[in-house]
Structure 1
Amino acid sequence: MPLTMRIGAVGAFLGAGLLALVWAYSYGGSAEPGILDRTGPAVTWGLPAAKLVFNLANACCIGALVLAVFALPHGGAAHAKALRIAGWSAAIWAVAAAGFVFLSFLTIANIPVSADSFGPIFVSFLTGVDAGRYGVLASALAAAVAFACFNLRSPRMVAVTTVLAFAGLVPLVLKSHATGGAGHADSTTSVILHSGSAAVWLGGLLVLILLRPAVLPGQLNGVVRRYSTLALVCFITIVASGIMAAWASIGSWGGLSTAYGGIVVAKAAALIVLGTFGALHRQWSLRRLELDPHRAGRYFTALAVAELAVMGAAVGMATALGRTEPPTSLGSAATDPGLPVPELWAYISQWAPDPLWSLACGFAVFFYLAGVRRLRRAGRTWPAHRTVLWLAGVAVLFMVTNGGIHVYQGYLFNAHVLTQMMLTAVVPLLLVPAAPLALAELTILGRTDSSTGVKEILARTVQPVLAGVTRAPYFAAYAIAGSLVAFYYTPLLGWSARGQLGYSAMTLLALLAGCLFTRAMTGRPDGGGGHARKARLGVLAGTAALYGVYGWGLTAQAAALESPWYTSVGQPWGAAGPAAAELGGIIMWVVAAGTLAVMAAIVTSRPAAAAGSRTQDEMVPDPDPDPVGTPERPRPHAG
C-alpha cells in the first residue's frame, strides 16, 4: 500500500476529529469564556485538544495491542510493528494525559502560571484533589504501557500489557460526569465499555491500515476477518452502552433539544454511517479478499479511509461532549417517583438495566446457540437439556443483574446478600452443567499461523486451571471462603453499594467463585472412584458449615454491615419488615441449603469412575483444525 494512502488515512482521521471538535465545542457552549476567566483562549481550546490527542493516542495503543494479542501471528514483522506503534502511541498518550491534567488545573484554579502561589497549589491539586490524582494515575499507566511495549515481547506479557492499557481508560472516566451525583444515574460502566470498545474498533482499523505493508498476502484475509469479528462485537457494545450512558446524562426526551442532546444526535448519526461501512466490509470487502487479496486490499483500504474520517468526527464530538453540561446537571431530568416497599412484586416488576451484564448475557446466549447450530450443520448433536440449562442460567443472571434484585441491592443489605448468593450458588448450578467449554472445544476453530485465538486460550489457560480444581475440590471451597470475606469484610461491600464499578467487580467475583466451586463439585473426577466422591461430600459438608457460620455472623452484625447503604440512601422504608438487614443471614442459609443439597444429590447419584478411566460423555475432543468437520468420522462427545 502506498505511503500516501497511509498518510491520507491518518490525515482524514485527525482532520475530521479536529473539525468535529471545533463544531461541537462551540455548539455546546464550552468555548465561551466565563466572566472572571483568567486563563485565556489557549487554555479554553487547549483542554479539549489535549483530550482529543489523549483519546486518539489511547485508541491507537489499545487497537495495536489487541491486534497483536488476537489477530496477528506472533513473532512476525507485523506483530513487531504493532508493538512499536502501541509503544509510541502510549508515550503520546502519557504526554497528552499530563497536558490534560495541567490544563484542567488551570481551568479549575483560574490562576495564571506566573502567580506566586502557582507551584504549591498545583502540587496540592495533584495530591489532594480527585481530578489531579486520577490524571496522574492515567499518565503513569500510559507510561508503564509504553515501557512494556518497547521491552516485553512474550505473548503473556503482551496480554498483560493490553489489560493495563484498558485500565488506563478508567481514571479519567471516574472524574467525568459518568459517576453522576446526588440523584443522577451512575453510568461509569457504560462509559468504560463505550470508551474501550471505541478504542478497539477505531484504533484497530487505523493500525490495520498502517500495518498493511507488513502483513503477508496470505495472512491478510485471516487478519482482517479477525478484526472484523472484534469490530462487530465493539459496534454492538458501543450502541448499547452509548444509549445507556446518553440516557443517564439526558434523563428525558426533552433533553434531546438541548445542546448536549444535539451533539448526542449527531454522534448517533455518525454511528449509523459507521454501521453501514461495517456491513459493506463484511458483505463485500471480505469476500473479495478471499478471491484476490492483492487487488481487494486496495479496495478495503479505500473504504477504511472513508470510515476513519467518520470515526474521527465521532471522536471529536465525544471529546466535546465530555466538556458539555448534560441536562441532568441543569435540572431537566425526569423526576424519580421513588421505589415501593421491597416486597415480592416489587422485586419482579422493577428494572434497572446494567450495561455490562446485559451485554454479557446477550453475547452468552448468541455464542452458545451459534455453537449448537454449527454442530447441527455438521451433522452432530448436542444434548437439548444442556441448552435449556444454559438459557435458564443466563435468564436468571440477567434478572439478578438487571431486575428488581439489582435495583434494591443499592438500597438494602439483605438484597446484597441475595445477589451474592444467587450469583455464587444458583446461577453456576445452571451454567456449569451446560458444558460451555466443551461446546467451545467442539466448535471453535484452532489457529494454524502461530496467533492466539479463543481455542488456544482455553487450552493453555482455562482448561489446566479447571482440571486442577476438579482434582483438588477443597481449593474451590477456599475460593468460596475468600469471596465471602471480600463481600462482607472489605471495602468491596461499600463499593458495591455506591457505584456500578464496585457492583460489577462484586458480581464477577461471585460468579467466578461459584462456577469454580460448582465445577469442582459436579464435574466428573478423572479417576479416584469412591475416594473422590467422599472427598467432595466432605467439602460440601464443610461448605455448609461455613455458610452456617457466616449466616449467623450476618444476622448478628447486620446493623454494622449495612452502614454503606444507610450512608448512600438512608432508610426510605423505615422499619418495614422486608427491609430488615437481619434477613440477610436467613437468605444465605436458605439458598445455601437448597443448592448444596442438589450438589450432594449429583455427587451421590453419579457412578464412581475407575481410576484413570473416562466415560464417552466426558471426553474432550482431540485437537483438530476442523472441529466440526465431516460428520461421518466417529468422534467422542463433549462433557
Structure 2
Amino acid sequence: MNHPSLNPARPHRGVLAGFVAAVSVQALGVPALAVVLMGSSGYDALARSYPGIFTSLLSAILRVVTEGASWLTVGALVCALFLRAVPGQSRRLLDHDFEVRVGRASALVWAGSALLLIPVDAADANGQTIETLLLPGALPYLVQGSYLPGAWIVAFILASASYFLLALGSRWTTLLPALLASMLAVLAPVVVGQVLVGPAHDFGSDAAIIGVPVSAALFGASTVLTLRLCTGRAIRPSTLDRFVRMAWFAWPLVLGSEIVLAAFKLVGPDPWQTATATLILTRLGLLVGLACLFVFTVIGERRGRISRHQLTLLSCVGTTLSLTYLLVGVVMTRIPPPQYFVPTTIAEVFFGFTIDEAPTLSVLATSWRPNILFAVIAVSAVILYLAALKRVRSRGHAWPLGRTVSWVLGWVVVVVATSSGLGKYSGIDFGVHMTVHMALNMLAPLLLVMGGVVTLFLRATTPAGTHGAAGPHEWLAAVLKWRVLRVLYNPLLIFVLFIGSYYGLYFTGLFEETMRFHWGHQAMNLHFLIVGYLYYSLIIGVDRPPRPLPHLGRLGFVLAAMPFHAFFGVILMTSTTLIAEDFYRQVGAPWADLSASQYVGGGVAWAGGELPLLIVIIALGIQWARQDQREAVRKDRHFDSGLDDDFEEYNAMLRRLANRRASADSREDT
C-alpha cells in the first residue's frame, strides 16, 4: 500500500465543491425529470387517482433524501464500528470521530425526511393532493389506507433512535444498537413495497432483505471515505484494507440480490419491453461499472501508481455512480413492475407460490422451496465457523470434532425446517407450522450452542494489544463484557421470552397478522431461533454466558419450563377456538381440517417441547458428573504429588484446638 496517498492533505476545495454541486443536481434532477416524464401513467396503471405533480414530485424528492441519508448513516456507523483503525486507548472513544459527526447529521436528516414522508406518501399512495390532508380526519384515514406511511413511522422512530445513540453515546458498544436500528429502518419501507406483491414474492422479499442493508453499508461506507478524502483527512492503510475486504464480501451479495429481484419482477408477457427492465439493466450495469472502478483503484493504489488527488477523483466518480444506482432504485418505486399484473392465486398473494397437494409425509420430504434468507445465513455461518476452525488448527490447537458436527447439524436443521416441505407448508397448515416452530426453537438451538462458536472465534482471532487497532478479537470481547448482553442473559428475562413467546404469539392476534406477510413470517422464525439460542446457551452451551448458572440452577431452569410447554400443548389440543381461523379460511386449502391441524400442532408442541428438555436434563447430569469427576481427579493428583496439604492443615488445626483445651483445663485445676 502506498501510504503517502492516504496521509492528511489540504482539502480539495475545488473537487469538494464540484462534487457537492454534481451530487445535488443529480439527486434533485433525476427524480424530478422522471416524475415529469411519467406524469399520471404509473397511477393510471394501478387505477389510482393522480394526486398532481406537486405531491408526486415532493414524494419522489423526499424519498431520495431519505434513502441518501440512510446510506450515509449506515455507512458512517460501519466505518466508525469496523473500518476505523485507531490504535491505542482512543480506539474505544468515538464521540469526536468524523464518522460519528457525519452519522449524527445524516440520521437527523433521515428522521426528519421520514417524518415528512408519513403524510406525503399517505396522500400520494392514495391518489390525493397535499391539500386533502388538511381536511378533518383525513390524515389518519389515509395513513391506514396504505402500508407505506406505517413503514415511514417505523423508519422515523428507528432513525431517531440512531440519532440519539450517536449523539449521546461515546463508546464502541453504544453504536451497535444504533447500527441495528438503522438496518431495520432501511428495511421498513422496502418489505412493504414492490416486493410484497406478485408470484414468488418470497424470493423477492428475501433478496431485498439481504441486498438493501448490504448495499447501504457498502455504498454508504464508500461515500464516507470519499468525504474524508475530499476534506483532506487521513485514511489509514488498515482502514482501506478493511474496506476492500468488506467490498469483496458485500458486492456479490448485492449483485445476487439484484439478479433475484430481476427474475422476480420481470414476468408476464414481454417484461423486457417495460421501463422496469430498462432500469434493472441500468442498475446491473452500474454494479458492474462500480466493480471495475473498484478493482482498478485498488490495484493502482497497491502498486503506488495513484496519487492522493487521483484517489480522491476516483472515489468521487464511484460515489456518483453509487448515487445513480440509488436514484434509479427510487425511480423504480414510481413505476408499477410487471409482476403486479400477473394473475395470482390466494396462496400466491400470501406466500408467493401455489400449493396443490396435501401435506403428506412424502410431499413434505420432497416438495422443497428454498428459503433464501435462512439458506444464506446458514451457509455464511458454516463457512465462517470452518474458516475459524482452520485458523485454530493452523496454530496447532485442537478442537473437538463433536462441536463442529453439532454446529453444522444445527444449521442443517434450520435449512431443512425452512426450505423443505416443512417450510413450504408451514404457512398453510398449523400442524406443520408448529413442527417448524419446534425445530427452530428447540432442536436447532440445542445443537448450535454445543458448537462453542464464541470460544472458537476468540481462539481464532489475535488480540491487537494495548497499542494496536481494535479488531475482531477486541470487538467480540467488548460485546461479551457489554452490560446490554448481561441484561439479555438475565435468567428471568430469558425464561419469560422462551415461555411467553408461545402464549403471547398464538393466543393473541399477532400470529394471524404475521402470517399474512412473508417478512412477518421470517421475523417470527428468526425470533424462535434467537430466543431458543439464548435459552439453551444459558443451560447447556459450551460458551460461558455473562450470567452463568450453577448446575442445580440449570436443572431447575429446565424443570420450570416443562409444565408450561405441556400446558400450552394441552390448550391447543382441547381448545374449541381455532388459532388464526380467518386467515386459514381465507387461504382456503381444499384439504384443510383446521381442528385436526390444531390438534396435531398441540401434540407437536407438547412432545416437541418435552423431549428436547428431557435430553437437556440427561446432558446436564452427564456434564455435572464429569465436572465432579474432573474435580476429584484434580484433587487426587495434587494430593499424590504432595501439592495438596488440606489434610495436614486440618490435623494441625485439631492439634491446636486440643492444646488450647488442655491449657484451659490445667488453669482451672490450679
Same fold (TM over 0.5): yes
Give 1:206 shift. Answer: 0.7
Give 1:414 shift. Answer: 1.1
Give 1:342 shift. Answer: 0.4
The amino acid that maps onto 1:68 is A
* Paired residues of 2:72 and 2:220 also in contact (CA < 8 A): yes
Confirm whether residue 120 of structure 1 aligns to residue 136 of structure 2.
yes
Per-residue CA deviations over 1:397-447 (Å, capped at 9, x if unaligned) read: 112122222211111111221111101221123222221111100112344
Distance 2:620 2:164 in 1: 50
Confirm whether residue 574 of structure 1 aligns to residue 586 of structure 2.
no
Distance 1:380 1:547 in 2: 41
2:13 alignment partner, one of 3, 6, 16: 3
Distance 1:476 1:33 in 2: 48
Match of 1:324 in 2: 335
User: TM-score with structure 2 length normalisation?
Assistant: 0.77
The amino acid that maps onto 1:222 is S
Distance 2:115 2:140 in 1: 16
SS at match of 2:257: helix
2:320 alignment partner, one of 309, 318, 338: 309
Per-residue CA deviations over 1:349-379 (Å, capped at 9, x if unaligned) read: 2333334322211210221111122223334
Structure 2 CA distance for partners of 1:573 and 1:9, relative to 1, 3 Å: farther
Match of 1:414 in 2: 431
The amino acid that maps onto 2:461 is I
Distance 2:243 2:29 in 1: 28
Per-residue CA deviations over 1:583-615 (Å, capped at 9, x if unaligned) read: 112223333344234323323333342599699
Confirm whether residue 59 of structure 1 aligns to residue 75 of structure 2.
no
Stretch moving more, 330-339 or 494-503: 330-339
Note the 1:543-554 alignment, pairs <5 A. Answer: 543-554=561-572
Give 1:309 shift. Answer: 2.4
* Paired residues of 1:61 and 1:87 also in contact (CA < 8 A): yes
Match of 2:5 in 1: none
1:231 alignment partner, one of 247, 265, 268: 247
The amino acid that maps onto 1:573 is W
2:288 alignment partner, one of 272, 284, 296: 272
Structure 2 CA distance for partners of 1:545 and 1:296, relative to 1, 3 Å: farther
Structure 2 CA distance for partners of 1:467 and 1:239, relative to 1, 3 Å: closer
Give 1:267 shift. Answer: 1.4
Distance 1:466 1:63 in 2: 24
* Paired residues of 1:21 and 1:313 also in contact (CA < 8 A): no
The amino acid that maps onto 1:56 is G
SS at match of 2:598: coil
Structure 2 CA distance for partners of 1:567 and 1:17, relative to 1, 3 Å: farther
Distance 2:320 2:122 in 1: 32
* Paired residues of 2:572 and 2:601 also in contact (CA < 8 A): yes
Distance 1:430 1:591 in 2: 15
Confirm whether residue 261 of structure 1 aligns to residue 261 of structure 2.
no
Give 1:383 shift. Answer: 3.0
Distance 1:145 1:245 in 2: 29
SS at match of 1:560: coil
Match of 1:563 in 2: 581
Stretch moving more, 18-27 or 394-403: 18-27
Structure 2 CA distance for partners of 1:12 and 1:346, relative to 1, 3 Å: farther
Stretch moving more, 605-614 or 140-149: 605-614
The amino acid that maps onto 1:444 is T
Match of 1:347 in 2: 364
Give 1:554 shift. Answer: 1.9
Confirm whether residue 168 of structure 1 aligns to residue 185 of structure 2.
yes
Query: Where does structure 1 lack aligned partners over 5 or more consecutive residues?
Result: 617-639
* Paired residues of 2:441 and 2:529 also in contact (CA < 8 A): yes
Match of 1:481 in 2: 499
Note the 1:400-479 alignment, pairs <5 A. Answer: 400-447=417-464, 453-462=471-480, 477-479=495-497
Structure having greater relative contact order (Cα 8 Å, sep ≥ 6): 1
Structure 2 CA distance for partners of 1:587 and 1:165, relative to 1, 3 Å: same
Distance 2:224 2:64 in 1: 18
Stretch moving more, 321-330 or 562-571: 562-571
Match of 2:386 in 1: 369
Distance 1:428 1:391 in 2: 12
Per-residue CA deviations over 1:79-120 (Å, capped at 9, x if unaligned) read: 5322221222223323433454454355456565667x8443
The amino acid that maps onto 1:319 is V
The amino acid that maps onto 1:339 is D
Confirm whether residue 390 of structure 1 aligns to residue 407 of structure 2.
yes
Structure 2 CA distance for partners of 1:396 and 1:525, relative to 1, 3 Å: closer
* Paired residues of 1:15 and 1:312 also in contact (CA < 8 A): no
Structure 2 CA distance for partners of 1:252 and 1:127, relative to 1, 3 Å: closer
The amino acid that maps onto 1:90 is A
Q: Percent identity?
A: 21
Structure 2 CA distance for partners of 1:459 and 1:324, relative to 1, 3 Å: same
Give 1:64 shift. Answer: 1.0
Distance 2:632 2:391 in 1: 26
Match of 1:48 in 2: 60
Stretch moving more, 29-38 or 446-455: 29-38
* Paired residues of 1:95 and 1:139 also in contact (CA < 8 A): yes
Distance 2:412 2:540 in 1: 21
* Paired residues of 2:15 and 2:230 also in contact (CA < 8 A): no
Structure 2 CA distance for partners of 1:564 and 1:375, relative to 1, 3 Å: farther
Match of 1:628 in 2: none
Match of 1:609 in 2: 627
Give 1:241 shift. Answer: 3.4
Give 1:60 shift. Answer: 0.9
Distance 1:498 1:111 in 2: 27
Higher Cα radius of gyration:
2
Distance 2:244 2:95 in 1: 18
Distance 2:482 2:118 in 1: 44
Distance 1:299 1:377 in 2: 40
Confirm whether residue 505 of structure 1 aligns to residue 517 of structure 2.
no
* Paired residues of 2:126 and 2:145 also in contact (CA < 8 A): no
Structure 2 CA distance for partners of 1:451 and 1:214, relative to 1, 3 Å: farther
Structure 2 CA distance for partners of 1:33 and 1:109, relative to 1, 3 Å: closer
Structure 2 CA distance for partners of 1:602 and 1:106, relative to 1, 3 Å: closer
* Paired residues of 1:93 and 1:142 also in contact (CA < 8 A): yes
Give 1:264 shift. Answer: 1.6
Per-residue CA deviations over 1:320-354 (Å, capped at 9, x if unaligned) read: 11111111211267996533110122222233333
User: TM-score with structure 1 length normalisation?
Assistant: 0.81
* Paired residues of 1:251 and 1:332 also in contact (CA < 8 A): no
The amino acid that maps onto 1:249 is K
Stretch moving more, 332-341 or 221-230: 332-341
SS at match of 1:352: coil
Q: CA RMSD of the aligned region, Å?
A: 4.2
Give 1:392 shift. Answer: 1.9
SS at match of 1:339: coil
Distance 2:484 2:618 in 1: 22
Structure 2 CA distance for partners of 1:120 and 1:174, relative to 1, 3 Å: farther
Give 1:182 shift. Answer: 9.3
* Paired residues of 2:566 and 2:610 also in contact (CA < 8 A): no
Match of 2:81 in 1: 69
2:533 alignment partner, one of 515, 522, 533: 515
